[in-house]
Amino acid sequence: MDGTTKIIEKPSEEPERESWGKKTEFLLSVVGFAVDLGNVWRFPYICFKNGGGAFLIPYLIMLVFGGLPLFYMELALGQFQRCGCLTVWNRICPLFKGVGMAICIIATFVAIYYNTIIAWAVYFFFSSFRAQPPWLTCNNTWNTPHCTTFRERALSMCFEDRNDTTASTYSNCSANATSDDYASAASTEFFEREVLEMQYSSGLDNVGPVKWTMALCLMTVFLIVYFALWKGIKSSGKAVWVTAILPYVVLIILLIRGSTLPGAYEGIKFFITPKWEMLLTITVWLDAAAQIFFSLGPGFGVLLALSSYNKFNNNCYKDALATSAINCGTSLLAGFAVFTVLGYMAHEQHKSIDEVARADVGLIFVVYPEAIATIDGSSFWAIIFFFMLIMLGLDTTFGGLEAIITGILDEWPWLRKRRELFVICLMFYCFLGGLASTTYGGIYIVQLMDVYAAPISILLVVFLEAIAVGWIYGVKQFSKDIELMIGKPPGLFWQVCWAFISPFFLLTLFVLSVLNTPPPSYGTYVYPVWANIIGWLIVLSPLLSITIYMAYAFLKAKGSFREVRY
């Protein structure tokens, strides 16, 4: 932290390294990566669960003192060093090069399972090109005798809500209203029995064969990703004009349409009404910290990679402020769009909003699709909704895989001439890894990976990155680097955050995640012990690369610890 490290001058210009054609392409790429599916389904639920409007206070505090400093740090580091997540450690702290390897491993894990979720959206997207969405009715081949439609459940609630003065009104509500204790929604059955076909799997011990239609959807996703990344930022910079901008158009359209539905006002009111007493609960602050961190996405190597293609004197400070603000604003926009529809569902089914809301992917694949299927022009709304989900997912995948590509190509420059071949090999590798999640029991694999692949290990990775930059490379030296780029050093606030607040923020999150991470679950399925053991091995695998490389660096070194460190 005292800046006693050797002074590193401006990195020599590399004529072969390309730069963004337009500044806007860089900003769209960063925004596209940061704004993902979690902004649509995770933030709205966490916000209302943790006090509604009151949650914005800890959310903004964690943004200012935790998320934003780390976001700014990675953008500045990548822009100054002009290299990816592997080579950058040769310049700031060779001892920590295993951190870069861990980043690549984590990014690969995420690419293997995250694209399956996009493939689900692709399946829904093509299924929407019908007169009415197939999850609206119960007369399909995949439906069970317990299937109930949205309208049937809404009408059945009439009997529960009636009173003496309205008994005659409700007495003939529905001749078909079900009282089946095992009733399941038509949208749930479409997702689980048609899209996933999980009825043919008993769990992880019997996932069944690959579902070829889902494998085809996954292949489609990887083909799109390949053609977006094969030429580097020249191709991805053009793709983000579509994938990063169109989701905002769709979100605004959905918000406008949702606000015209009955019950929409109650949904918004439920979303933003502050519950001030919740601020006294520690879990609210922890949820805010976790949401900010995983929403902005430092530590995945993406910000390093994308900013490394900036012009050296680009003002990365303004970029950090602008993109962080856009990310948070998008979360709020998505929250309003989602809760107008949840308010409509609650109104139609005579339920409270917390009864219809869900905290998992079921919100975007079961709850929201069911609601829009009942609106006039339902197929149109379904098409644009799932198109939006695909775009949001692709943007995040572009960033995650570009982090791997940039890191490896910078470390082994001879591969740059064969970038197209390397990228297609990486896509094929991730596709093969993802095939397991397209089996009948693929949902169980996705849930397992979602819990263990990144959320825990990435926290320790970014903690070590913050320590390396703030204490080994030195805050003073890092501040000089930024001054060399943008003409003025970062203020005392940023330096204190990088040296003290951000590492504490990350270490606290890591410890609490290790202690409190619940085992994965889906419905009533209980994961076997061996599955959780495998999950923790997945957590340890990237962290193992850090310790192995540190040991290798010490054994290889001939000098003192200081020489190994630098």
Annotated binding site for Na(+): 32, 34-35, 39, 295, 327, 392, 395
Q: In one letter, which amino acid is 406?
A: T
Amino acid (one-letter) located at 114: Y
Q: Which residues contact 76 (CB under 8 A, 6 or more apart)?
A: 307, 316, 317, 320, 478, 481, 482, 485
- Helix-then-strand count for the chain, H and E: 28, 4
- How far is Cα 433 from Cα 155, in angstroms, rounded to an integer? 45
Give strand pairing partners of 521. Answer: 526
The CA angle 510-530-294, to the nearest 5 degrees, is 25
Instruction: Cite the annotated binding site by residue number.
Output: 32, 34-35, 39, 295, 327, 392, 395
Residues β-bridged to residue 26: none
Distance CA 301, CA 33 (A): 11
Backbone angles phi, psi at 558, to 5 degrees: -110, -10
Strand partners, 210: 439
Beta-bridge mates of residue 526: 521
Tokens of 266: 């109650």
* Distance from C-alpha of 15 to C-alpha of 37, rounded to nearest angstrom: 37
- Spell out the residues 6+ positions from residue 566 whose beta carbon is closer than 8 angstroms to its own: 5, 6, 93, 94
Instruction: Determine the straight-line distance between the first and last CA of the chain, rounded to whole angstroms.
Output: 14
Report d(CA 442, CA 116) in Å as an integer: 9
Q: How many angstroms separate the most distant Cα atoms in the chain?
A: 91
CB atoms within 10 A of CB 493: 12
Query: How far is residue 278 CA from its own chain's centroid?
Result: 26
Instruction: Enter the DSSP assignment of 439.
Output: B
Structure tokens at 394: 């692709």
Task: Please give the full DSSP string across 325-350, using - where no structure is assigned.
Answer: HHHHHHHHHHHHHHHHHHHHHHHHHT
The answer to whether the Cα torsion of 328, 332, 58, 453 is positive or negative is negative
